[in-house]
Structure 1
């Protein structure tokens, strides 16, 4: 569960931060406490030395024991009711020499003590010990309080993290629910209102954009199916009628009539084959699997023009100013140029040339045909659209629609217009 995993990560992060902070704090405070204890022992030793010189009574502290170490090694306890402190060889050296000092730790009756030995002017030394019971108690209390504070902080971090992460993940849960709904019901009308900013909001917007693209794709597929069924009905009806006529009048038709029927049958079959091929291109868009490459537009256009010159024997010229390299899918762009040339050759008289004009990343094909009616200039790139004056010409009405789809996929634009000298200009503009 994502919420539990994120909460665990947040808790572990909080624990790590708290532990590191506490260790650093303890390590920084512990030397200060030790230094304070050492200063207390040193001050107490100085006080005892001063009182001994003044032959004044020494006030008793419950956590401290004082004794006088004479040069001969004998000990006189200065704190009534206390046992003598253990004396080391270093302490005896300090007492005999009257110089130096020693700071040691001892254990008396299972209790830790700190012992400071200071030389006494005139001979001997003063030994002062402090019971560490209170220091240890304070240290343990600090550790236990720290432990409880850490536990409380971790629990608070877990609760707050659980609630906060749940709130953050709420739009993602809604997104997951909507995704399951779409996958189960195939209902692409599901939309999520943007409920958050940042990455989650961008994810929601991306999901809505994806659904919008899927809705558009489904609508286009539905329209393609409907248009295709309508366009296929005419050649199929003609093929069926011709075939039935040949079947019913087998051997009884005049040879000329039979030839006419067979010719019609072949022509309609070719038209049907071309239509099916273009429908497959529209439905599968195989060119999208191509990797984009940088191509020289005039070079590609000249190669396509030469192909049409050899196939049709028509005059096709190339003109224009200097072009710029364009990054495209080469085969797809070649198909677009082929369709433009095929369209121009279809409507241009046989004795007239077709010209390709390139300016930068703009390519247009000029013909000498009847031109395009103003009302048709924005519609000729629609699928299956046939202008009134072109309905008698061969074709499926898909060639320029394929050009539109290819150029739009390259983030370009298509255009169509009439030329001042007659004929049409149809082409595209690619982004630089």
Structure 2
């Protein structure tokens, strides 16, 4: 669960942030207390030495034990009823020499003491002063306990606060996840998505909304394609079925010329069906999308298409180039677009009339000398299965220009259809220029 994982990360960060200063503070306080104890022990030792020099006993303190350590005799207690301090070899050395001092820790009757052995100024032995650590230990334990409780309370408070805040922050993510699960379950791409804010989660919501919109548009296109295809396939299928049923009923009784006409109709309609199916598959699968866009020269694609159509149809196809600019497009998709435009122009041009391909910058147009395109139909010609008035009997699937539109749009270009000045139509496209390519304007006319 994302909320739990983030909460654990926040809690770990808080614990680390608390632990570092707490440990530093504890060590600093321990050092400060230790230094204070050492100074207190030294001050008490000086007080004892001063009192002895004055021939008096030092005042009694409940937390200290004092005793004399002669140079050559046993230790003598200065604090009545107090426990005896253990005498180490180093303490005896200070007493014998009458010089220096020695500090050590000792345990007396289970109580920890700090013991300072200091030589007397007159050189006659030394004094030993022991100060109990019991109170310091209690303070240390109390400080450690309090700081532990405080740190734990702070960590728990931060954990609770982060859990509540994360729940509020991740609420849009949960809503988006619920909407995605609903879409997955119901296949309803019209499901509304939660409102997008201005933060990263809002950006994720907008990206998801764009993706769902693209899927919705794709589904609408598929449904429209199926509807249009079923409508367009109905006519040739009906014709083929009628011819087949007529041949079945006649069973050889038809006149040869009638049978030949029916067979010719079957062949014609079968060819039309094959072309429609091929164009539908091309349009539905968009086989060109696997290519990557690259810088391409429009004149090369135009020359190649002109040569192939000239060999195939014998039609004169002229290519005129003026200031060409390399375009960014997919190679096979670009060639398919040019071929479709040239094939469309050949189909609608009367026999003996030329077809003209003109390239200006990143613009390519194909001009025919046919009946032209009515102003109201110049956008509709790029729709699937569209046929203008008077062209219903013209062979073709009605998908050629639709494929051009889709392929050019996929490469971020645009299509157009206009009327030629002296009759006929001019159909073509614009494509984006290839980046960082320099060119110079020139005119290269050629004719195939």
User: So what's the TM-score if we normalise by structure 2?
Assistant: 0.87
Alignment of structure 1 residues 238-277 onto 2, 5 Å: 238-277=239-278
SS at match of 2:380: coil
Alpha-carbon distance between aligned partners in 1 of 2:395 and 2:328, rounded to the nearest angstrom: 33
Alignment of structure 1 residues 374-393 onto 2, 5 Å: 374-393=375-394
With over 3 angstroms needed to count, the CA separation of the structure-2 counterparts of 1:238 and 1:103, relative to structure 1, is same
Cα displacement (A) at 1:137: 0.9
Aligned to 1:17: 17
Cα displacement (A) at 1:132: 0.9
Residues 295 and 330 in structure 1, CA contact (< 8 A), matched pair in contact too: yes
With over 3 angstroms needed to count, the CA separation of the structure-2 counterparts of 1:26 and 1:236, relative to structure 1, is same
Alpha-carbon distance between aligned partners in 2 of 1:165 and 1:366, rounded to the nearest angstrom: 64
Cα displacement (A) at 1:335: 1.8
Structure 2 gaps, min length 5: 434-448
Alpha-carbon distance between aligned partners in 2 of 1:423 and 1:61, rounded to the nearest angstrom: 122
Alpha-carbon distance between aligned partners in 2 of 1:117 and 1:359, rounded to the nearest angstrom: 107
Residues 328 and 431 in structure 2, CA contact (< 8 A), matched pair in contact too: no
Residues 306 and 317 in structure 2, CA contact (< 8 A), matched pair in contact too: yes
Alpha-carbon distance between aligned partners in 2 of 1:138 and 1:17, rounded to the nearest angstrom: 25
With over 3 angstroms needed to count, the CA separation of the structure-2 counterparts of 1:325 and 1:36, relative to structure 1, is farther
Alpha-carbon distance between aligned partners in 1 of 2:203 and 2:253, rounded to the nearest angstrom: 74
Structure 1 gaps, min length 5: none
Instruction: Pick 1 or 2: higher relative contact order, CA cutoff 8 A, min separation 6.
Output: 2
Q: Which stretch shifts more, 402-411 or 303-312?
A: 303-312
Aligned to 2:215: 214
SS at match of 1:406: helix
With over 3 angstroms needed to count, the CA separation of the structure-2 counterparts of 1:42 and 1:354, relative to structure 1, is farther
Cα displacement (A) at 1:20: 3.5
Q: Which stretch shifts more, 67-76 or 307-316?
A: 67-76
Cα displacement (A) at 1:421: 4.4
Aligned to 2:280: 279
Cα displacement (A) at 1:109: 1.3
Q: Which stretch shifts more, 375-384 or 252-261?
A: 252-261
Alpha-carbon distance between aligned partners in 2 of 1:166 and 1:159, rounded to the nearest angstrom: 11
Alignment of structure 1 residues 67-216 onto 2, 5 Å: 67-72=67-72, 74-123=74-123, 124-194=125-195, 196-216=197-217
Alpha-carbon distance between aligned partners in 2 of 1:76 and 1:10, rounded to the nearest angstrom: 62
Alpha-carbon distance between aligned partners in 2 of 1:73 and 1:364, rounded to the nearest angstrom: 124
Residues 48 and 57 in structure 2, CA contact (< 8 A), matched pair in contact too: no
Runs of 4+ in 1 over 6 A off after TM superposition: none
Alpha-carbon distance between aligned partners in 2 of 1:222 and 1:38, rounded to the nearest angstrom: 92
Alpha-carbon distance between aligned partners in 1 of 2:174 and 2:213, rounded to the nearest angstrom: 20
Q: CA RMSD in A?
A: 2.6
SS at match of 1:144: helix
Residues 73 and 95 in structure 1, CA contact (< 8 A), matched pair in contact too: no
Aligned residues: 432
SS at match of 2:115: strand
Deviations 1:385-406 (A, max 9, x none): 1121433321222111111111
